[in-house]
Amino acid sequence: MTTALLALSALTAATAKPNVLFISIDDLNDWVGFLGGHPQASTPNLDRFAESGVVFENAYCPAPSCNPSRTAILTGRAPQNTGMYANGQVWREVLPDAVTLPQHLRSQGYVTGGAGKIFHHFSNDPASWDHYWPSKIRQFPRYIHPKPKDKSQFPRWKNIYVSFDWGPIDVPVEETGDFKSVQYVIDQLDQPHDKPFFLTCGIYRPHVPWYVPRRFFDQFPLDEVQLPPAYNNDLDDLPAAALRMLRSRPYYRNMIEHDQQKQTVQAYLASIAYMDEIVGRLLDALEKSAHADNTYVVFWSDHGWQLGEKEHYRKFALWEDIAHVPLIFAGPDIEAGRCDEPVNLLDLYPTLLSMLGLDRADNLDGHDLTPLVQNPELSWPHPSITTLADGAASVRTKNWRYIRYADGGEELYDHRIDPNEWTNLATVASSKETLDEHRALFPAEFHPRVKTEPLEEFRKRRAGGG
């Protein structure tokens, strides 16, 4: 950069509104060093970054799958208030008038852009962006899948190939999709900007399929891989609705039948190590850029994941391992700290407006977390709600998780003594008072699920008509 440019960018930094780098990870649970969810998780770059900001140790997703969670985060509206519950819904048809966080920032003079998955598959929102890579409609770069396709771990399960598969790929990291998304965002950070920017970077791994370069698999030799803790009789005290949900899903049975559980843990850890390395590049690029001192960084994942706990794989449930997500705020005037109050990613929208000194937008369901960012020791009166479907949600308070299904089935866990949620106290007489307290915090009403055209049809229409 020339001297004149440097002087200009220093002047801009002194007078302009702060920028935002918004980093979203897909399907990352608490298997990161700074949350300690798995003893072998390797995230040195994120751990270093966590030490520079405020880590929310008890942050939860608004919904336990991509589309409803990301829609809630980016529109600021809770699923139970909109009827937006499932991956198969077209979120823009459910919420045609919603002003997304980037859309709102555009109206306030921000230039918005980014790369990679931020909204759900096929559902990027052109109205939200000034620029996007690969395009304002297409968020996904090309991902590399091994060939031939019959390499699936489950040869009898052709339909789950790619949607749930894993394995090392012999390509340099520079050729992988997420690396290219990060590179686009780094290129933006390397330029001077005359307006404040909101830049998002959506990283797809550790979402399945877990295809990442071989060296990340080599980091976790299979015979040393540790399975997450499990308790043999864990299902005995679950309500019927939870058992029906588990029985309807074949993934765990398949893993056990094919003896693949360790392989999945290895592949998930490898995908996390890969994600950490490329996010590290992005954070380093910001630090070296002219925008380092005037940019907030928000790091989050849309929801967590289970790998065999409660005989369950994937997301789509209300337990801690799925609801719990990493969340870090860093940037100008934010002092390093850790907050253990329960918060929700629904809070990101109002919090960012507050941090940027902008007026609060109408119709936001979340809470402004800036008091906690400024003082992580503060006590917080709000529970964190995660919504699975019409009538099914969970309430997380500092010490407890309460779950209720649409048929009234309940679970209650005491996190002070039962972090794995093995002992359901909902039917124990001595829990009555705590149970009633949490019933009172449960959403009073649920908007019925809003019907939209199928996502597949939407995608085809978009691909055809632009």
Active site residues: 66, 120
Residue 187 and residue 182: Cα distance in Å, rounded?
9
User: Please, which residues bridge with residue 114 across strands?
Assistant: 132, 200
Residue 437 contacts Ca ion per CB under 5 A: no
Q: Which is nearer to Ca ion, 66 or 101 (CB)?
A: 66
Closest-approach residue to Ca ion (CB): 66
Q: Which is nearer to Ca ion, 277 or 302 (CB)?
A: 302
* Residue 431 C-beta: closest distance to Ca ion, Å: 14
User: Please, which residues bridge with residue 211 across strands?
Assistant: 167
Kindly identify the residues of this chain, within the stretch 232-251, that bind Ca ion according to CB under 5 A: 234, 237
Q: Which is nearer to Ca ion, 213 or 239 (CB)?
A: 239
Tell me the CA distances in angstroms from 407 to 389, 390, 412, 434, one per residue in order.
Answer: 12, 11, 16, 20
Residue whose token pair is 């849309």: 302
Segment interacting with Ca ion, rule: CB under 5 A, options 107-115, 294-302, 350-358, 440-448: 294-302
Residue 187 and residue 228: Cα distance in Å, rounded?
39
Using a 10 angstrom Cβ sphere, with 0-12 exposed, 13-18 middle and 19 or more buried, the burial of residue 109 is exposed
Query: Is-contact 32 46, C-beta < 8 A?
Result: yes
Residue 390 contacts Ca ion per CB under 5 A: no
Residue 418 contacts Ca ion per CB under 5 A: no
Residue 297 parent element (H or E): strand 295-301
Where would I find the beta strands (DSSP E) of 137-265? Answer: 166-169, 197-203, 210-213
Q: Which is nearer to Ca ion, 189 or 203 (CB)?
A: 203
Q: How many helices (H) and strands (E) does the chain have?
A: 16, 19
Residue 113 parent element (H or E): strand 111-116
Segment interacting with Ca ion, rule: CB under 5 A, options 27-35, 242-250, 373-381, 428-436: 27-35
Phi then psi dihedrals of residue 13, to 5 deg: -60, -35
Segment interacting with Ca ion, rule: CB under 5 A, options 31-39, 58-66, 128-136, 433-441: 58-66
Segment interacting with Ca ion, rule: CB under 5 A, options 132-140, 195-203, 341-349, 422-430: 422-430
Judged by CB under 5 A, how many residues of this single chain contact Ca ion? 7
* Residue 312 C-beta: closest distance to Ca ion, Å: 12
Q: Packing angle between helix 177-189 and helix 261-288, nearest 10 degrees?
A: 10
Kindly identify the residues of this chain, within the stretch 62-121, that bind Ca ion according to CB under 5 A: 66
Residue 311 contacts Ca ion per CB under 5 A: no
Q: Which is nearer to Ca ion, 130 or 237 (CB)?
A: 237
* Residue 287 C-beta: closest distance to Ca ion, Å: 27
Q: Which of 21, 24, 25, 26 binds Ca ion (CB under 5 A)?
A: 26
Instruction: For residue 27, give the nearest of 302, 251, 345 by alpha carbon.
Output: 302
Residue 414 contacts Ca ion per CB under 5 A: no
Q: Which is nearer to Ca ion, 317 or 339 (CB)?
A: 317
Residue 337 parent element (H or E): strand 337-339
Segment interacting with Ca ion, rule: CB under 5 A, options 32-40, 47-55, 177-185, 299-307: 299-307
Q: Which is nearer to Ca ion, 67 or 183 (CB)?
A: 67
* Residue 120 C-beta: closest distance to Ca ion, Å: 8
User: Please, which residues bridge with residue 19 across strands?
Assistant: 295
* Residue 27 C-beta: closest distance to Ca ion, Å: 4
- CB-side neighbour CA atoms (13 Å) of 103: 15
Binding site for Ca ion (CB under 5 A): 26-27, 66, 234, 237, 302, 422
